[in-house]
Amino acid sequence: MPGAPEGQWWPHRMLEPAWLHAHHRRFDLLHLHFGYEHLALEELRAVVEALRAHAKPLVLTVHDLRNPHQVDPGPHRAALDLLVPAADAVITLTPGAAERIGAVWGRTATVIPHPYVVGPTRAGRPDTRDHRDEFVVGVHAKSMRANCDAVAVAERLARTVSTLPGARLVVHAHDDEGGRSAAEDLRERGVPVTVRPPFSDDELFGYLEDLDVSVLPHKFGTHSGWLEACHDLGTTVLAPDCGFYQEQAPCLLYHRTETALDHGSLDDALRQAFAQRPRWRADPRRRAADRVAIADAHDLLYRAVARAREPAAVVPW
């Protein structure tokens, strides 16, 4: 993106009304996924109005019913209150999220699942975990998103892991301010933690391949791309029951609310994983076929909304 430092997210030009007015002949529709939380509501409304001015359809994929980066749910809810009714078509990843969209906004969302995250070649490698005795549990603080409760989750896991023969807990935090703060809190509680830069894709996949269990330390959320990567690689996921994670892929659930972690259910889920050693690994060939089907589903939807926005034909007298 012009003006963006290398490797850094930058607001997309298609979210600038002036760009839309100047370049509306260069595109057929706008499909919005993420990356609009920097816009004030009136700025977002101006984007919608610019699209309507040029009869350009808006397709919205609702990945998050609650923005994982924002403590206050209000701004994201206000954005969805604008975008969901305004969209020509709404997509989401799971039936549960679609049901919630229908209940809140009266819109029928098309359910199109998340495609694979790890490519078939990498996902098809032999699983080396089948030939080792240790049991490795991982928690990753990432950049301490607003929905991340890694300190409380890791502290509880450390107690449980210490009672499981051959089990080991691995905790990572990013080297930004939030990650370093989380690391200090964990060390004060006696939990070892590694502070490091964010993983590259290859590093992340290697990290997940070394885990038997990856625990999502979320206080709130809807869907997870991290879970999808784990499913590609056969890493068991322990996820909170606050979202629709189990509808994305098989996983074990523990109970929590935004303000409280249920220690007993987290212990039970980890002990179940330790005793049963589930390996819910996606078939790479099936995931590759699913990716084609997902692309086809988007193509059909794009064509339908584009036809619906075409000007009516003028019938001569």
Q: What is the CATH number of the domain that holds 195?
A: 3.40.50.2000
The answer to whether residues 245 and 217 belong to one domain is yes
| 313 inside domain | no
The answer to whether residues 139 and 263 belong to one domain is yes
The answer to whether residues 105 and 168 belong to one domain is no
- Cα–Cα distance measured from residue 150 to residue 172, given in angstroms and rounded to the nearest whole number: 10
The answer to whether residues 104 and 136 belong to one domain is no
Residue 131: what pLDDT?
A: 82
C-alpha torsion angle, residues 264, 269, 275, 276 (rounded to 10): 160
The answer to whether residues 110 and 124 belong to one domain is no
| 4 inside domain | no
Kindly report the pTM of this predicted structure.
Answer: 0.93
The answer to whether residues 125 and 272 belong to one domain is yes
Residue 4: what pLDDT?
A: 58
Residue 13: what pLDDT?
A: 86
Residue 102: what pLDDT?
A: 98
The answer to whether residues 105 and 131 belong to one domain is no
| 169 inside domain | yes
| 283 inside domain | no
229: nearest Cα among 216, 218, 217: 216
Determine the structural domain holding residue 196 and report its residue range: 120-276
- Cα–Cα distance measured from residue 28 to residue 139, given in angstroms and rounded to the nearest whole number: 42
pLDDT, tens digit only, all 317 positions of the chain: 556 566 666 678 899 999 999 999 999 999 999 899 999 999 999 999 999 999 999 999 999 999 999 999 999 999 999 999 999 999 999 999 999 999 999 999 999 999 999 999 999 999 989 888 899 999 998 776 899 999 999 999 999 999 999 999 999 999 988 888 889 999 999 999 999 999 999 999 999 999 999 999 999 999 999 999 999 999 999 999 999 999 999 999 999 999 999 999 999 999 999 999 999 999 999 999 999 999 999 999 999 999 997 654 444 43
Domain count, the chain: 2
- Cα–Cα distance measured from residue 60 to residue 83, given in angstroms and rounded to the nearest whole number: 7
Residue 144: what pLDDT?
A: 67
DSSP letter at 26?
G
| 74 inside domain | yes
The answer to whether residues 36 and 90 belong to one domain is yes
Sheet holding 110-111, edge to edge: 30-32, 58-62, 89-92, 110-111
Q: Are strands 58-62 and 213-215 parallel, antiparallel or unpaired?
A: unpaired
C-alpha torsion angle, residues 257, 261, 265, 270 (rounded to 10): 120
| 3 inside domain | no
Residue 314: what pLDDT?
A: 40
